[in-house]
């Protein structure tokens, strides 16, 4: 999958979050979008996923054919701290529901996802009884085990302890080959593997001199 941004900008009301962003995202490469909290990392990720429209500029999606924005969701897997899970679903129901929309990566099925999570004993437990760390692990497992050409991660180790962070890094090694990976972060351990870095602060509009 290939994404091209041309003079992309986004504003809320009269305030520009960023503007003048020209960039290409290539299949098989990994990109870290960096900046402090509130700088616009998640906004840019949502534009890349076509869940938010740019205020100016153009964005193009390409695989072996051009993809219209309304179809982009089927090519992307996403995990982020603000992604809501259905609290009344059990873990088994959550996995079944997610993979009614996505295909499993080769060699995986529902049992494989449970094994990866090491939560087979909790498969019939509603998510409302999960800790924040267990929910984050579930979000990551669903995203990594989905057979899509693009993987988008926002603050992927939120709510994870040291063991959970090591588990996340093992997922990066196992599942990201040949994928386009884009990650929003300000924690170096989350994005050390990324080949390219985009500093969102470099695309802030500068105040006019008077």
Residue 177, number of CB atoms within 10 A of its CB: 9
Q: Which two tokens stand for residue 144?
A: 């990594």
Domain definitions of the chain by residue range: 2-203
State residue 64's pLDDT score: 85
State residue 21's pLDDT score: 96
DSSP assignment of 58-123 equals EEEEESSSEE-GGGGGGGEEEE-TTPPP-TTSBHHHHHHHHTTTSPBPTT--HHHHHHHHT-GGGT
pLDDT at 56 over 60: yes
CATH code given to domain 2-203? 3.40.50.300
pLDDT (tens digit, 9 = 90+) per residue, 9-34? 999 998 999 999 999 999 999 999 99
pLDDT at 209 over 70: no
State residue 95's pLDDT score: 98
């Amino acid at each position: 999958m290939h994404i091209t941004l041309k003079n992309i900008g986004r504003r809320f009301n009269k305030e520009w979050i960023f503007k003048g962003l020209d960039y290409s995202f290539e299949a098989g490469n990994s990109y870290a979008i960096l900046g402090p909290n509130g700088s616009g990392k998640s906004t840019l990720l949502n534009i890349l996923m076509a869940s938010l429209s740019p205020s100016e500029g153009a964005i193009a999606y390409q695989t072996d054919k051009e993809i219209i924005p309304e179809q982009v969701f089927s090519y992307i897997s996403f995990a982020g701290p603000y992604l809501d899970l259905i609290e009344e679903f059990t873990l088994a129901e959550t996995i079944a529901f997610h993979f009614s929309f996505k295909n499993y990566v080769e060699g995986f099925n529902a049992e494989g996802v449970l094994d990866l999570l090491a939560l087979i004993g909790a498969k019939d437990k509603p998510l409302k009884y999960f800790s924040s760390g267990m929910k984050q692990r579930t979000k990551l497992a669903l995203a990594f085990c989905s057979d899509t050409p693009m993987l988008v991660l926002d603050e992927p180790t939120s709510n994870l302890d040291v063991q959970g962070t090591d588990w996340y890094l093992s997922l990066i090694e196992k599942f990201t080959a040949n994928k386009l990976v884009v990650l929003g972060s300000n924690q170096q351990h989350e994005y050390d593997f990324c080949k390219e870095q985009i500093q969102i602060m470099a695309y802030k509009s500068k105040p006019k001199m008077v």
